Structures are given as structure tokens and as C-alpha cells.
Amino acid sequence: MRQLVFFLSVLLVFWIAGASWWYVCKVRCDCKTTAEAPALVRDTSVVETQTAEQVLMAAVGEAKTFLTGAGIQKGFFKSASTEGDMSSVSDEYIKNLKLVLENNPSAKIEVTGHTDKTGTAWFNNKLGLQRAEFVRSYLVNAGINADQIVTASKGSGEPAESNSTSEGRAANRRTEIKVII
């Protein structure tokens, strides 16, 4: 009986070790072999800090390049609605936007609301600002600092398409997200 208990105990230990390895290496993809692991050198905390900073700055540079290439992001709204469809703004865009803003406190995001020609100028300006505030809330909920977001409204003053067709009016009911670095 003792041999069976000992055997099951050893088997349990190996099973736990294997499950831990599987989780770390296969699920989290965080397993390093000795060939991949960096060599440890004593008394080089400054070098490790610089390396971490260099890696961070490289990631921020890549994120800036991505944001520059992505151009102005747009969200679209149903007629006279202040809640829009933000599916055109990808999670990757938000992730890169957050990285750049966290590491560049002077950078800002300008969110501008637009409307179609339907309604008065006063109503359209107010509606455009409400749309910009909706997108601001969306970005803040995604983890972006609210102090780095500026909202504005152009109302119906800068149409993207002609207001003479329903497709054109739909294209004009939008917000635009622009990064100012």
C-alpha cells in the first residue's frame, strides 16, 4: 500500500509540473529555453533599464508609424443619433493609440463631430459635439486618458459627400479621430 501511495504521489508531482509547463510554454507562449534566455550579467541594472527603454521606444515608434499610416479614423451615426457605430475603429488602432499617448504626454487626440445638412445650423453643431463626446467616452472606456482628448463640432460645415442623396447624408453623419503628435 505504501508503494502505491508513493507512486501516486510521484505521479501527481510530475503531472503538476507538466501541467505548469504546458500552461506557461504553450498557453501563455512565455517559455524560454536556455538558448533563448538572455545571459545574466551582474551589476548591469543600468544596461537592463536602457534595454527596456530602447524596446519601449521602438514599440512607441512602431505605434506612431501605424497611427500615421492609419490616417483619420471615422465612426458613423444613424440620422439624428448621438450613439454611433465604432466598429470601423479597430482594437489594434486603440492599442497603438493608447501606447503612444501613454508615452507622449503632450500628444492629443482631436475628435470632431459632423452631421448631414438636415436640421438647423445650431442643432447640427450641438449634435456634432454630442457625437464627438460619445466617441470621447468610447476612447476613455478603452483606457485612454481623458485629458488628452479634445472634442469639436463642424456641424454640417464640412461634408464628406453630397447631401443630395441618402448615401451622401449617411457618409456625412460621422466623427473623425485625428492624432496630434
DSSP states of 93-145: HHHHHHHHHHT-TT-EEEEEEE--S-S-HHHHHHHHHHHHHHHHHHHHHTT--
In a domain, 160, yes or no: yes
Number of domain units in the chain? 1
Measured CA to CA, the distance from residue 127 to residue 106 in angstroms comes to 28
Q: For the segment 118-169, what is each residue's pLDDT rounded down to a tens digit?
A: 889 999 999 999 999 999 999 999 999 999 999 999 998 988 898 899 899 8
In a domain, 48, yes or no: no
Q: For the segment 70-116, what is each residue's pLDDT rounded down to a tens digit?
A: 777 777 777 667 777 777 788 888 898 898 888 888 889 999 999 99
User: pLDDT confidence of 47, banded at 50, 70, 90?
Assistant: very low
Q: Which domain holds residue 150?
A: 59-180
Domain holding 164: CATH number?
3.30.1330.60
